[in-house]
Structure 1
Amino acid sequence: MKTAIVYYSHHHGNTKKLLDAIALQNEVTLIDATSTNKVDLSEYDRIGFASGIYYTNFAKQVISYARDYLPEGKEVFYVYTSGAKDGDFLKGIRQVVNEKNSIELGEYHCQGFDTFGPFKLVGGIAKGHPTSQEIEGAVAFYRNL
């Protein structure tokens, strides 16, 4: 299956660490949502959306990319990292995916080192994340799609 993953990974590169491990062992195309070169996603069978979590949501760049470039009816999956262990982090991206009548295949989430906003004052949270086990978990998730 031809797969693309549209991502945004900014502050500490937590999400990109997961994607790099997936791409190292699988044939996937990684697409930076901030790139000026927009890729035609219609040629892909499966499309992943990956992001760090910002204010309990996917990065606005990923959501906008999905809104503008996700074709109707595609198989979609999510990979994301956040300082928090739990939360409803998919609401924004999921709304776009549902509007495009796409099929959700699953999601992978793990913690990521976070020094955003007030967390910087205390040296950050979720230090040491993603761990090597979490990175391996992302690869296993992708393989099992």
Structure 2
Amino acid sequence: MHFAWLEADLLDSAAYDEWRALWTPTARYIVPITPGATDFENTLNYAYDDAEMRAKRAERLVSGQSVSASPVARTVRLLSRFRLLRSDARTCELRCAQMLTEFRRGRERTYAADVEFVYLRGPGGLRIERKVIRLVNGTDALGGIGYIL
């Protein structure tokens, strides 16, 4: 739970370098369009990011080059309903609920999602190997967002 809260706080604080350091080099950040999707490589996703794409996404957010990120949105993520799905010496799988509130251009929006994490344990502690954000309202959920879910 604490690691998921740390990640949420880093995103809300726009601490993208620290956020990127939480991930393994092979990790995927996935936001499927279809809530029940499991074959992410062969379905359409809002995001299916490897390390390079996460870096580019974070760079666009801070550079001012992204139209969807101007002006910068203020966000608050609330995580709850944590459930440990599996844990062994190397891997930990966690699922939780996320409510993300965005305030931008005088308007507030809220997105609800189930979030699944796969963490790997290593000498430096936990690292994210996979994060899947399943938006409750799927294809109707997103317009143009200028931040990382």
TM-score, normalized by length of structure 1?
0.32
Query: If each structure's helix is expressed as a fraction of its own residues, which one has the higher value?
Result: 1
TM-score, normalized by length of structure 2?
0.32
